[in-house]
Structure formats: C-alpha cells, structure tokens
Amino acid sequence: MRHEPRRDSRGILDPDRLRRRVHFRRRLPAPALRPYVEHYWLIDWDVTEPFEQRLVPHPAVNLVFQAGGDGVETGELAGVDLGLFTITVRGVGRVTGVQFRPGGFRPFWRRPVAELTGQRRPLAGGPAPGLFATTPICPGTDDQRCRRLDDLLTAGQPAPDPVAAEATALVEEIRRDRSVLRVADFARRHDLSTRRLQRIFLDHVGVGPKWVIRRYRLQEAIEQAAAGPLDWARVAADLGYADQAHLVREFTAVASVSPAAYARSLAASRAR
C-alpha cells in the first residue's frame, strides 16, 4: 500500500498551466480507507478571469464538494466520465474531492457501479438512502478537510467485497503494465473467461476492460505528447493502436485536439 499520493499528471491536459492558476494538491486518506480510495484532491483558487481546465478522466468514481466565495457548498457523486471533462472556475472558490480507486466505490454503493457511469448526481437528498449525508466539507485547513472526508467515508461503512478488491488489482495492473493491450489476452493471463472479466469490470468499475485499456493507453499518449516531437507511428504501435491514424483519431476524439496540436499548445504555454 502506498504511503504517499501519486505525483504524476496523468489525465490532466496542460498540467503546468493548471498549477500556475490554481493551488492543486493530493492527500492520502486514513489507512483503513486506502483499499478503496486513491487519494483526496484539493483545489483552491482566486482568479480575476475565468479559467477553464480539461481532463481525460480515469476509470474512477469521484465524490466532489465545491464552495464559492459566498461559502455555499454543493456536493455531487460523479460516475466514470466517458469523455473529456471540462470545468471553468471563476472568482474565489475551492473543491474538496475523493477519487476512489477503480472498483473501490462498489463496497460503499453495494450495487453495480455501471449505474453511475456518465452521470453526476447531486448529493442533496442523497444518491441513495443514508449514503453520504454530511455537514460542509470545504471550510478549514487541508488537515481539517481531509479529516471530514475520513469521517464521512468511515461512516459509509464499506462492505468487504473480495471481487471489488480483485477488480482494483486488475485495473492497477492495466495501468502499470503497458504490455496489456487486448482483453482476451488479459483474461487468459488471469485464467478468466472474457465474459467473466467483462462482468467484474462493469459491476465493480463501471466500464468494460477494453475501455480501461484504451483510456490508460491514451493517457500515456497524452503524457508522451508533452515530452516534445515524437514518432507517432512508433507510439501508436507501442500502445497497441492499429496504426498512427487510429491513435490520432482517438486522441482527437477524447482530447478535442490532435496530438501534434496538443504538443504545440504545450510548447506555446511554456514559452509564455
């Protein structure tokens, strides 16, 4: 189990620009919650002009609390987002969020996580009876905000679920192992039928294994684009795309910009 949060920028488009405009950090939850929660994420801002940030989401459920300058806080439960996520911040505000590990929300939800995929459900009234009824999370120091999240999630009484733990481990393997490119091969590696693997992912992660593989490989392509000029035909082959055109189409469809244009935009941003 990790003892510090991830420090990569995977999924964040133009992460340097994000860090110049807002105060972004990650914190780990209490040890008992780490089998379920990837990290807490905290953002504070005070901007004179609206700032738009784009993200290519992970295969994860998020619990999000946001407060503006008036102190009014809203909360929502966000299922796995299938496309590009865009947020625009204005004035003064802060967000306190929970990114669950893939598979980690199932022990709280106790129903198929695919029910939430592509959805954002307000917490007012609760997305399910008794789930995450809470007092405000955002006020206070980082430690205070994280302690409130610890209390909130502990009160959710996650139910032990060995299949959820299996799903989390499978997704983590896909994230770390770039050689995982095809669902059938991955299923055989774990002595699972393709159908069984599909059921585990849909029920506990919210999306199928093919989507998870493609999303993580696309996030790798986005990270590599930030490194400068690349041989995109070689990158496409390394990441399991049929050809360079396939990678460019998928990159553009999700990120709303071609790989080459994204790399140019990063270079221009760094030069400012």
DSSP assignment letter at 115: G
pLDDT tens digits for 129-179? 557 767 789 999 999 999 999 999 999 899 889 999 999 999 999 999 988
What is the CATH number for 38? 2.60.40
Number of H helices, E strands in the chain: 10, 8
**Contact (CB, 8 A) for 17 and 24:** no
Asked, for residue 93, whether it belongs to a domain, the answer is: yes
Output the CA angle 155-65-90, nearest 5 degrees.
Answer: 170
Asked, for residue 69, whether it belongs to a domain, the answer is: yes
| 3-class secondary structure, 203 | helix
Beta-carbon contacts of residue 140 (< 8 Å; ≥ 6 apart): 148
Q: Would you call 164 exposed, middle or buried from its count of C-beta atoms within 10 A (0-12, 13-18, 19+)?
A: buried
What pLDDT is recorded for position 130? 59
pLDDT tens digits for 224-247? 887 766 788 888 888 888 889 999
Q: State the total domains in the chain.
A: 1
What pLDDT is recorded for position 48? 94
Structural domain boundaries enclosing 52? 15-155
pTM over 0.75: yes
Q: Average pLDDT for residues 35-64, to the nearest whole number? A: 95
Asked, for residue 39, whether it belongs to a domain, the answer is: yes
What pLDDT is recorded for position 219? 92
Asked, for residue 110, whether it belongs to a domain, the answer is: yes
Burial 219-247 (b: 16+ CB within 10 A, else e): bbbbebbbeeeeebeebbebbbbeebeeb
Asked, for residue 20, whether it belongs to a domain, the answer is: yes
What pLDDT is recorded for position 69? 86
At 1, the pLDDT band (50, 70, 90 cuts) reads low
